[in-house]
Amino acid sequence: MKLPMLMQDQKAKITQPEISVIIPIYNEVESLEHLIRRISDTLDETHVSYEIICVDDGSVDGTTELLRKQVDLYPQLRGVVLRRNYGQTAAMSAGFNHAQGKIFVTLDGDLQNEPADIPLLLAKMSEGFDLVSGWRKERQDAALTRLLPSKIANLVIGWITGVKLNDYGCSLKAYRAELIADMNLYGELHRFLPALAFIEGARIAELPVRHHARQFGQSKYGLDRTFRVVMDLLTVSFMKTFLTRPMHVFGLLGITFTGLGVLTGGYLVFLKYGLNEGIADRPLLILSAVLLLTGIQLFSIGLLAELLMRTYHESQSRPIYRVREVVQASNSEN
Ligand code: UDP
Ligand code: MG
């Protein structure tokens, strides 16, 4: 009984690459060939073993067909084709789950990240870090709609999570695989991986990397993305208790109501004891009591909902994505 397991382990070790490069891809057909060539050229030079995992997040522009052709040219390349478009976080999560390397490297599929920076991240990792995050010091995106919201988001995320990075949004990152192997990602959470990892005790570094303007296709995001990120940010602010969306609504309402209740109550106390006025017949007395009680109730409902959500997320086995097929070289053994 023990022997086959041992052999399996050994086989896993022999085939385990050092590096898994993970790329979420949604309609990037013009960039794909060039990107894969650049990555494999770069990594061939470093002489580390690697695999490239392209997660096709429901592309409809021919990316999937091109990926099929590419896997025959690059034995290290695998395509994980999702059933539909699930979003970047889900696609990354699919990539993590299919990756076998000791170190995961993520980057975007639109050539905005520089593949030649990957060895720099790996060098930094070897200094003893568990996660190295790229910093797009000279980011080539629109100033008002992208750079400004990011700047604010980075400040707030750093402030809330205690992990101060200049650029949470940079996709080019390297992680020790065991760090994120069983992390439960959803929403826009992929960008908070450094903060999540920090809670797990990870040593984190940030490294300036190059950034290029998008050459082909369009960004998949607009201002609505910023809103979603902010909502997830609030979620992350409760990270130690985890996964708490309902708290955003109930908590805020509860605090507002309680706050108003305290204010009006304070005013009444001041009237009674400061100015010696009777308050028993004032409608404000009832309002104040109602506000206070409602506030406390709303807050408690929020707490309960938070617990429910947490139980829900942790108990559900439903994945946040579904795989249609895995494409790889036809002569591949895996
Ligand atoms: N992406 C994805 N699924 C989506 C949206 C985006 O896999 O639903 C991929 C996209 O193809 C790209 C990366 O995520 O490789 C980042 O997206 P994008 O370049 O549009 O974002 P930006 O650089 O504008 O922040
Ligand atoms: Mg991009």
pLDDT of 249 > 60? The answer is yes
Has residue 232 been placed in a domain?
no
pLDDT of 244 > 70? The answer is no
Distance between CA atoms of residues 270 and 291, nearest Å:
18
Confidence grade of residue 309 (pLDDT, cut at 50, 70, 90): confident
pLDDT of 230 > 80? The answer is no
DSSP-derived letter for residue 218 is -
pLDDT at 23: 98
CA of 30 to the centre of ligand 2 (A): 13
Please identify, by atom number, the ligand 1 atom nearest to the C-alpha of residue 58: 3
Regarding whether 323 and 287 lie in a shared domain, the answer is no
Domain with 171 in it: what CATH number? 3.90.550.10
Has residue 234 been placed in a domain?
no
Over residues 73-97, the mean pLDDT reads 95
Distance between CA atoms of residues 64 and 82, nearest Å:
10
pLDDT at 242: 40
Regarding whether 251 and 196 lie in a shared domain, the answer is no
Has residue 4 been placed in a domain?
no
Tally of structural domains, the chain: 2
pLDDT at 12: 47
Has residue 1 been placed in a domain?
no
pTM: 0.77
Regarding whether 124 and 262 lie in a shared domain, the answer is no
| 62 torsion bin: left (phi>0), alpha (psi -120 to 50), beta (else) | left
Which of 36, 34, 181, 6 lies closest to 104 in space, CA to CA? 181
pLDDT at 190: 84
Regarding whether 105 and 201 lie in a shared domain, the answer is yes
Regarding whether 279 and 131 lie in a shared domain, the answer is no
Has residue 42 been placed in a domain?
yes
Confidence grade of residue 246 (pLDDT, cut at 50, 70, 90): low
Regarding whether 132 and 266 lie in a shared domain, the answer is no
CA of 99 to the centre of ligand 2 (A): 22
Distance between CA atoms of residues 161 and 269, nearest Å:
39
Regarding whether 199 and 251 lie in a shared domain, the answer is no
Q: Radius of gyration (Cα) for the chain, nearest Å?
A: 25
% of the chain beyond a pLDDT of 90:
57
pLDDT tens-digit map of 250-290: 788 888 999 999 999 999 999 999 998 888 888 899 999 99
pLDDT at 301: 87
Over residues 302-325, the mean pLDDT reads 78
pLDDT at 1: 38
Regarding whether 295 and 158 lie in a shared domain, the answer is no
CA of 313 to the centre of ligand 2 (A): 29
Regarding whether 275 and 191 lie in a shared domain, the answer is no
Domain that holds residue 264: 247-315
pLDDT of 323 > 60? The answer is yes
Distance between CA atoms of residues 225 and 246, nearest Å:
20
Has residue 308 been placed in a domain?
yes
In whole angstroms, how far apart are CA 43 and each of 38, 72, 80, 124? Answer: 9, 18, 21, 16
Distance between CA atoms of residues 307 and 242, nearest Å:
9
pLDDT at 237: 59
Please identify, by atom number, the ligand 1 atom nearest to the C-alpha of residue 112: 23
Q: Which ligand sits nearest to residue 27's alpha carbon?
A: 1
Residue 162 makes CB contacts below 8 A (sequence gap 6+) with 195, 198
Regarding whether 206 and 257 lie in a shared domain, the answer is no
Regarding whether 254 and 212 lie in a shared domain, the answer is no
Regarding whether 70 and 201 lie in a shared domain, the answer is yes
Has residue 10 been placed in a domain?
no
Has residue 32 been placed in a domain?
yes
pLDDT of 175 > 80? The answer is yes
pLDDT at 131: 97
CA of 220 to the centre of ligand 1 (A): 5
Residue 229 makes CB contacts below 8 A (sequence gap 6+) with 153, 188, 191
Q: Which ligand sits nearest to residue 170's alpha carbon?
A: 1
